[in-house]
Amino acid sequence: MFTQEQIQALLNVLPERKEDAINAPELARALGYSSLPNQEELRALIRQAIRENHLIGSDNSGYWLINSLDELEDILDSLERRAKRTCDRRNHLLNAWNEKYPDNLSIKISKDVN
């Protein structure tokens, strides 16, 4: 759990325009976190900030503060596509297991993201 001061530090560093997005390694360094691949602590901070209703967008270029409905909807569409691909991969693994091991079927059911 991060403090409100840590969240505020994140918000202070994030640019207000998508065009000025800051990539994860740079953002991690600016906040004093590890800039090694995955930046797990930074990602946890961002997830908490979003759960606390801060509008943080991201794409391949980096992170920024969402400031328009168009940006928000682009991010929502991107997250939905990613969730669908993850769910599709899950379903393929489930089906492959059940086909390969019909005597040891998983009781999990296929999921779908609409």
pTM of the model: 0.85
> For the packed helices 40-51 and 24-31, what is the interaxial angle rounded to 10 degrees?
90
Cα distances (Å, whole numbers) of residue 113 to 59, 85, 90: 21, 9, 12
Facing residues of 56 across strands?
65
14 CB-near residues (< 8 Å, 6+ apart): 22, 27, 56, 63, 64, 65
**4-65: which CATH architecture?**
Orthogonal Bundle (1.10)
> Tens digits of per-residue pLDDT, 25-47?
999 999 999 888 778 899 999 99
Domain boundaries of the chain, sorted by first residue: 4-65, 68-114
Cα distances (Å, whole numbers) of residue 45 to 56, 60, 87: 11, 18, 25
> Tens digits of per-residue pLDDT, 61-102?
999 999 999 999 999 999 999 999 999 999 999 999 999 999
